[in-house]
Amino acid sequence: MNLDKKALIPCSPASNALSEHEINQLLNELNAWYLTPENGTQKITRQFEFSNYSSAQKFANAIALLAEQANHHPRVCIEWGKATVSWWTHILNGLFINDFIMAARCDIIFSELKK
């Protein structure tokens, strides 16, 4: 489906979070992302590995730019040699298609930085 190419869909408090079936279908389209329930909120998470801290920071900065452009923001945790990214839709307290689109875009950024 090339999730990274899909346009983000406007979301409001009246929008519906994805069903478990929809989540599982979309997770199958992503590489290495997994479901992380936290305090009753479904999130998707992936840990990206790097050779040093500055590479992880560079990746996190690219994700921050992506998030600002889309006005959709993840949690990013940077450690030596890795960055962990979690997506969810705050106003729905769950997952929406945009979380999967943004996750796919993170994968593209990671691939480009690893070249």
CATH of segment(s) 36-115? 3.30.1360.20
Could you tell me the pTM of the whole model? 0.95
The Cα 1–Cα 5 span in angstroms is: 9
Provide mean pLDDT across the span 11-26. 96
Mean pLDDT score across all residues of the chain:
96
Confidence of residue 14 (pLDDT cuts 50, 70, 90): very high
Q: Is-contact 43 35, C-beta < 8 A?
A: yes
The model's confidence at residue 1, banded by pLDDT at 50, 70 and 90, is low
Is the confidence at residue 99, as pLDDT, over 70? Answer: yes
What pLDDT, in 10s, does the model give residues 43-80? 999 999 999 999 999 999 999 999 999 999 999 999 99
Q: If you average pLDDT over residues 15-34, what whole number do you get?
A: 96
Q: Is 87 helix (H, G, I), strand (E, B) or coil?
A: strand
Contacting residues for 76 by C-beta, under 8 A, at least 6 apart: 60, 63, 64, 83, 84, 85
> For residue 114, what pLDDT is reported?
85
- Mean pLDDT of the region 10-31: 96
pLDDT score for 115: 74
pLDDT at 8: 97
